Each structure stands twice: as structure tokens, then as C-alpha cells.
Amino acid sequence: MVRDGREPLSFVVASQDELHAPYGGVVPELACRRHVHILDAVVQEALVRAGLGLTDLTAVAVTAGPGLFGALTVGVSYAKALSYGVGCPLLAVNHLEGHIAAIVLEKEHPTGPYIALIASGGHTDLYAVQEPGRYHLLGRTLDDAAGEALDKAAKALGLGYPGGPAIEDQARQGDPTAIAFPRPLSGAKTHDFSFSGLKTALVYHLAKLSHEALHAALPGIAASYQQAVVDVLVVKTMAAAAASGMQEVVVTGGVAANGTLRAQMQRAGEARGYRVFFPRPAYCTDNGAMIAAAGAWQLQRGGAAPLDLTPDADLPLGG
Ligand code: KG4
Ligand code: ZN
């Protein structure tokens, strides 16, 4: 529950990490079923914690895409019924706009146009944001997303799911210069990313190691791999800021919960005179508050959705 699009009144996240952990990634059918079972209880819990009743709601915001079609359909169907029952507007939110809007839940947020890096399990996108609702896509990953690269590496290393936090944990004890993993496209003119070669480099490296050798080398491998991902994200975000002339940068999405990325992006931004903003880690990973914040932007734009809204698994953001 969010008041005025800025102030979280309650914050409830039903994580499915444990459900998908045995498979090393999200299983769409399981995700969909769990949404059906849990959604109403999550909404009721959020209302109770906010001290509100259904009739206090002034709008219902829901993710309309991009994402897994089944999971999106569960949310959209529920939100339609809720908004119709309560008699308040339905707001169809782009998941990526939600990640960007997460920053207004913080006291510190940009005052002018900014570069937004969205690094998650499904996306690695750089946007120039003129103002809420005006997004220009500068570059995106050509293959794997940054979070996907971390998830796949964690799986190869036997570290479990989700991979980002597991790698970050291992990396704390490791030397980030232990192995020279590639930094794909980091010197290139394009704002696009590529992470699949990094995972391939890891697989080749692992093939040379015995089980015992891997165990001993694990922290160094994790730290070096994480450093390669972080380096690419920092270099390309700084390059986008320089090319656009924008002075403010927002870094968001699940991977932005990473402490090393936050510290190094902050340092790189400061060195160039940019202001760098991050949502707190809980607002970086998928959550409802960011969707409510983006919904409020949409309400201001007068963009309530019709009741025949259908999800779009490939919903694009901006031009
Ligand atoms: O935004 P998100 O919660 O869901 C998507 O929209 O995909 O991002 C999930 C991704 C996963 O790949 C996960 O491994 C990564 O974010 N992630 C992290 C951290 N926490 C989550 N990556 C690096 N460090 C973390 N602390
Ligand atoms: Zn997300």
C-alpha cells in the first residue's frame, strides 16, 4: 500500500525463491499457481498492516507486462476484480517503469532528467528519462541479462538460487582479481550489453578444475565473476551519462541490491560529478510498492486502464 505514490504504508512481498530454488530458476507454471494461491492473502496482509480497509483504496495498480504471461494474467485478473468491486481506477503498469519509479519511494531522488540502469533477472536496460512517462531506450542486453548471468553462474558453481545474493555472499571472502573474466562490449561505442560470453568463460574455467580445486577457489571465482558484471554495468552506465550530458543516474532492478555494484557505481559517479541514486535493496528486487509508485505517475497522466485490459508478456517501455 502506497500513499500519494511516494509513501509506503505497508510492504508485503511473498517471495517464491524457495519454491524455484531446486530448479535453479523460475518455473513458469509453479510461479503461476503460487500467485493464485497467495495473492489475496498478500493483499489482505498489506491492508491490515496499513490499517486500511478495501473501501479506503483510491486506485489499484497492477503489472501488465513484460513478464511471464500466466503470472501476469493472475495479477491482472485479480486487480480488475478488485478495482471493479471497490469502484476505483485500474492502473496498468509496465514492470520496467515500476523499477524506475521505485526511486521516488526514497527521500533522495533525481530532480532533473536522468539515466536509468535497470539490471534484473530479465532485463539489462539503459534509459534516458526526461520525466516520468518519457523514456528513451539507449541500450539493452543482446543476450543474457546481468541477473541471469549471475543466476547461471551460481547454478554452475552449485550455489543455489537466486544467484546474485549467493555469489555476493561467496565473493566477500574472495579476490576479485583472481581470474580475468571478459568484460563484453565494455569498450564498445554501443550502449548495448552482452553477458552470455561471461558465463561461457566461467564454464570453460570450471572444466579445468577438480571438485576439490573448485571448492578452494570458489570465493575467488565468485568475486572475479561478480567484478566482471559490475565493471561492465558501471562503465556502460557512466558512458551513457557522459553521452547524454545528464548529471543524475538511477540504478535499479534486483541486481542493484548488490553492495559491490552500489559502492562502485557511487564512486564512479562521484568522480565524474554525477549524483547516483539507488532504491534501498528491498525496493530494487521485485515488489508491489514500486508498481504502486508507477501507478501514481499514471494516475497523474490520467491513464486509467479499461476493464478489458489483457497482459502483454513483451510490453515495451518508451521509444
Ligand atoms: O528485479 P528482480 O527482482 O526480478 C526481475 O524483474 O527479474 O531481479 C532478480 C534478479 C535475479 O537475477 C537475482 O539473482 C538478482 O536480481 N539479485 C542480485 C541480488 N539480489 C537479487 N544480484 C546481485 N546481487 C544481489 N544482492
Ligand atoms: Zn523486476
Task: Give me the residue label for grid cell 524457495.
Answer: 18
Q: Judging by DSSP bridges, how do beta strands 60-65 and 90-94 pair with one another?
A: parallel
Phi-psi region of 254 (alpha: psi -120 to 50; beta: other; left: phi over 0): alpha
Mean pLDDT of the chain: 97
Task: Give me the residue label for grid cell 531506450.
Answer: 137
Q: What are 219's three cell numbers?
A: 570465493
Predicted TM-score of the model (pTM): 0.97
**Segment 176-210, tens digit of pLDDT:** 999 999 999 998 899 999 999 999 999 999 999 99
Using the mean position of ligand 1's atoms as its centre, give its distance from the Cα of residue 84 in Å: 33
Report pLDDT for 197. 96
Closest residue to atom 3 of ligand 1, CA basis: 285
Angle between helices 146-156 and 196-207 (to 10 degrees): 10
Report pLDDT for 30. 97
Task: Determine phi and psi for 195, rounding to 5 degrees.
Answer: -120, -5
| Ligand 1 atom nearest to CA at 95 | 6
Q: What is the mean pLDDT of residues 227-244?
A: 98
Q: Residue 223 pLDDT > 80, yes or no?
A: yes
**Segment 19-78, tens digit of pLDDT:** 999 998 899 999 999 999 999 999 999 999 999 999 999 999 999 999 999 999 999 999
CB atoms within 10 A of CB 113: 16
Q: Sorting pLDDT into bands at 50, 70 and 90, what band is 319?
A: confident
Report pLDDT for 245. 97
Using the mean position of ligand 2's atoms as its centre, give its distance from the Cα of residue 205 in Å: 30
**Contact call for residues 202 and 225 (beta carbons, < 8 A):** yes
**Contact call for residues 90 and 77 (beta carbons, < 8 A):** no
Q: What are 142's three cell numbers?
A: 543482446
Q: Residue 83 pLDDT > 90, yes or no?
A: yes
Residues flanking ligand 1, CB < 6 Å: 120-122, 147, 150-151, 162-165, 168, 253-255, 257-258, 285-286
Q: Residue 275 pLDDT > 80, yes or no?
A: yes
Instruction: Please name the helix (run of DSSP H) or strand (run of DSSP E) that holds residue 118, with its range, or none.
Output: strand 114-119
| Ligand 1 atom nearest to CA at 253 | 1
**Segment 92-143, tens digit of pLDDT:** 999 999 999 999 999 999 999 999 999 999 999 999 999 999 999 999 999 9
Start-to-end CA span in the chain (Å): 30
Angle between helices 163-171 and 211-244 (to 10 degrees): 110
Q: What is the mean pLDDT of residues 249-271?
A: 98
Q: What is the mean pLDDT of residues 258-287?
A: 98
Using the mean position of ligand 2's atoms as its centre, give its distance from the Cα of residue 267 in Å: 25
Measured CA to CA in angstroms, residue 77 lies from 1, 53, 306 at distances of: 19, 20, 12
* 3-state secondary structure (DSSP) of residue 308: coil
| Ligand 1 atom nearest to CA at 148 | 12
CA 141 to chain centroid, in Å, comes to: 14
Report pLDDT for 166. 97
| CA-closest candidate to residue 277, choices 145, 99, 153 | 99
Concatenate the DSSP letters of all residues of 72-96 into one string: HHHHHHHHHHHHHHHT--EEEEEHH
Using the mean position of ligand 1's atoms as its centre, give its distance from the Cα of residue 147 in Å: 5
| Ligand 1 atom nearest to CA at 147 | 12
Running DSSP on this structure, what letter comes out for residue 163?
H
Q: Sorting pLDDT into bands at 50, 70 and 90, what band is 318?
A: confident
